[in-house]
A = this chain, B = another copy of it.
Amino acid sequence: MVKSDVISPPLSDCLHCPMRAHSIFALLTPTEIVQMQLDVPDLHVKGDTVLYRQGDPARYAYTLRAGTVKLQAAPHQSKDQPHTIRLLRHGDLLGFEGLTLNRHSHTAVTIGETDLCQLDLAELSAYSQKYPAIKNAIYARWQNALQEAETQLLELGAKKAEARIAAFLCRWCSVFPDGSSVPFPLNRNDLSEYLGLSTEHVSRWMAHFKRENLVHENKGSLKIDYVRLMKISQKDTSSKPYRA
């Protein structure tokens, strides 16, 4: 029972993690967390790193501590240009579908430098049996993801390019104080894959917004005129005259 002092990968100290309050372990007591003895490697990776691929046997899930990740899916395992289903940021979870499906249903790719906790799904599965609070926390995130997916469905189905881009920029910036400069690691191509448009079309509208002083871009950060952009995002819901 001698404890080893060998430390290979840097491990997260879950107990003192600044994100614990927002994590799936939020409702556990400090004692419980210590008891779990979880091995949680702390990953720092460059942009364009593939964390896992759609269809892979699921081994790990992740908590995103800093940076951005895109979840992509392609229809029928084809190598086609993939579509980005979801964009993840500080505090989001990814890969948890592996808990019940055993395979990853997306491909996860980092955008810019990113910092994650890696959770072993087998261990996690065991603990989530033991502590229902963990399972509930994960489920709550799924419900949240569903909400977001439905919002995005609405945007893709009902809005045209101008409004779609405006709405996205507002959503992206909404977690920061109004008028502040917001980190923005996405390039035109990332945007186009998420919004279902061509890069050129995205570029045209972004350029337009900049000319109108609705948007300012500066080396990976962004400042927007929230109020005016919000108005544009509501524009033209494919305005059919509605006969009740």
Contact = CB atoms under 8 A, between A and B. Distances in A.
A153 B194 CA distance: 10
Interface residues of A, number: 40
A154 B80 contact: no
B242 A105 contact: no
B153 A152 contact: yes
Given A78-B234, A139-B142, A234-B76, A196 B158 contact: yes
Given A105-B150, A153-B85, A242 B79 contact: yes
B78 A237 contact: yes
Copies in the complex: 2
Interface of A: 73-76, 78-81, 83, 85-86, 97, 100, 105, 132, 139-140, 142-143, 145-147, 149-150, 152-154, 156-158, 194-196, 198, 234, 237-240, 242
Contact of A156 (B80, B145, B157, B242): B157
A154 B74 CA distance: 8
- Please name the 3 residue pairs, one residue from A and one from B, whose CB atoms are nearest each other, closest first: A157-B196, A149-B149, A156-B156
A105 B198 CA distance: 31
Nearest to A72: B154
A132 B128 CA distance: 13
Contacts of A80: 158, 237, 239, 242
A75 B154 contact: yes
B237 A85 contact: no
Contact of A132 (B132, B234, B238): B132
Given A100-B143, A143-B100, A150 B73 contact: yes
